[in-house]
Amino acid sequence: MPTTKAPGGGNPAAAPGWKVLLTLICLALSLLLWFQGLLDSLRRPSVADALSLRQLELTALAAEVVEEPLRSSLFGEEPRAALVQELRRRQQAAASPPLPPAQQLELALLERGRRPEASAERLQQLEQRLEAPLRPLLQALSRGEQLDAELQRTLLSPWRPTPMLARLVCEQLGSCPASSSGGRLLLQLAVVNVLPLPLLLLGVGLLLRQLWLLRQRRLPAAPPLLGPPLSLLDVTLLIAGGFVLLGEVIVPPLLQAWLPRLLAGLSLTGSLQQGLLVLLLYLGLMAAPLLILALMLNAVAQPPPAGGWLQWRWRPPLPALQRALAAVLMVLPAVALCGWLIERLWHNPGGSNPLLDLVLTSSDPWALLCFALTAMVLAPLFEETLFRGVLLPVLAQRWGARPAVLASAAVFALAHLSLAEFGPLLVLGIGLGILRWRSGRLGASVLMHALWNGFTLLNLLVLAN
């Protein structure tokens, strides 16, 4: 299907020599930084391992609130056996660095009934090498003390325990009360294990329907793909110079030099300080490229089209939201398949977004609100402005819509600096680009991006609590 091209775009040959040179320097430095960042991602831990472990823990906890014989039918004879097996596998595969202390303690407590000597030895080794704040709990466990619930929580606090670890400690240090959260545990398990299946099936159905309509030539024609009349030189300078060099390299160290001291003087909890730091750093990352974009658009001589250069078109909001939700469901099976293939072909690729781990390990609601605002508001608005509001239509003016969707998705995926997540992010970026193209609305792709990040955060929160 042909794509209507927006007017303008500029001629790189007519650009001043200094601008061409500056753009080439920014591009070269950005490519070098991205290459190094992708290599570094191989050494970063992956949140996927933590999520799979939390899922096993949730299954073991939920099994305890189900009566026999249903428990054995749903979870097997020993619901904790899979958790023990996974922790042992990780222990054998993680000689250096070793398992995190909390996971070592969890394994020791799970093994106490069957391998008491190995469990006692593990506790002793942990006590010898861990920092002082973590030792009182180990000493109480080694002595077999019986402690009230308040003292248990005090000793557990420095460990930042998962619900499973808290349960195991409770069993060792005092009789645990009957769980009053059985319904919540089963609901969490259903959200994690059951809900994705109908969503995947619904997404496959919607995707097949779209493909059938496309084959039958019954899809409505895409509106003109309007965008800013910028040159490829302008867009390269915006992303390489503004987003990468200024936004990711220069501004964050400047903010990190004084923001922590400023937040430390506000008498906030450590978790909330961390949440605000993430939020403010992202705002700082956004500032330079958005300022450069504003200056570029202000220099455009011709009047913008109806709806503006970025074509936000929020109104009416309901069709945009419906399109965004349908697009999320359609892209979900493709992203899941891509992630599954990577998991099977590439063992332990590492490199998850650090924000995911912060969400998974935080229990402060205000800190979680900061993370949610960053992931569901700031990131969709900023990233869609650059990649689908500017890059996609500018590329489409020269190459056509389909190559532009693919190219903008590739840049979007590379910008996240994770080799392990490049494939799923590429698929997501293609879905976001198609929605921007077919709907004519940047607002729809922003909503889709926000919904995607929101579902990710929901999954993390369900497993974290």
Mean pLDDT score of the chain: 88
| pLDDT for residue 310 | 95
Instruction: State mean pLDDT over 190-216.
Output: 93
| pLDDT for residue 32 | 96
| pLDDT for residue 1 | 38
Per-residue pLDDT reduced to its tens digit, 360-374: 878 789 999 999 999
Per-residue pLDDT reduced to its tens digit, 315-335: 899 999 999 999 999 999 999
Low-confidence winner among 90-94, 281-285, 353-357 (lowest mean pLDDT): 90-94
Model confidence at 375, pLDDT cuts 50, 70, 90, reads: very high
More confident residue, 316 or 464: 316
Model confidence at 348, pLDDT cuts 50, 70, 90, reads: low
| pLDDT for residue 190 | 87
Low-confidence winner among 318-327, 339-348, 456-465 (lowest mean pLDDT): 339-348
Write a three-state SS string for the chain: CCCCCCCCCCCHHHCCHHHHHHHHHHHHHHHHHHHHHHHHHCCCCCHHHHHHHHHHHHHHHHHCCCCCCHHHHHHCCCCCHHHHHHHHHHHHHCCCCCCCHHHHHHHHHHCCCCCHHHHHHHHHHHHHHCCHHHHHHHHHHHHCCCCCHHHHHHHHHHHCCCHHHHHHHHHHHCCCCCCCCHHHHHHHHHHHHHCHHHHHHHHHHHHHHHHHHHHCCCCCCCCCCCCCCCCHHHHHHHHHHHHHHHHHHHHHHHHHHHHHHHHHCCCCCHHHHHHHHHHHHHHHHHHHHHHHHHHHHHCCCCCCCCCCCCCCCCCCHHHHHHHHHHHHHHHHHHHHHHHHHHHHHCCCCCCCCHHHHHHHHCCCHHHHHHHHHHHHHHHHHHHHHHHHHHHHHHHHHHHCHHHHHHHHHHHHHHHCCCHHHHHHHHHHHHHHHHHHHHHCCHHHHHHHHHHHHHHHHHHHHHHHC
| pLDDT for residue 207 | 95
pTM: 0.89
Instruction: State mean pLDDT over 263-287.
Output: 90
More confident residue, 53 or 13: 53
Instruction: State mean pLDDT over 276-304.
Output: 94
Model confidence at 179: pLDDT above 70: no
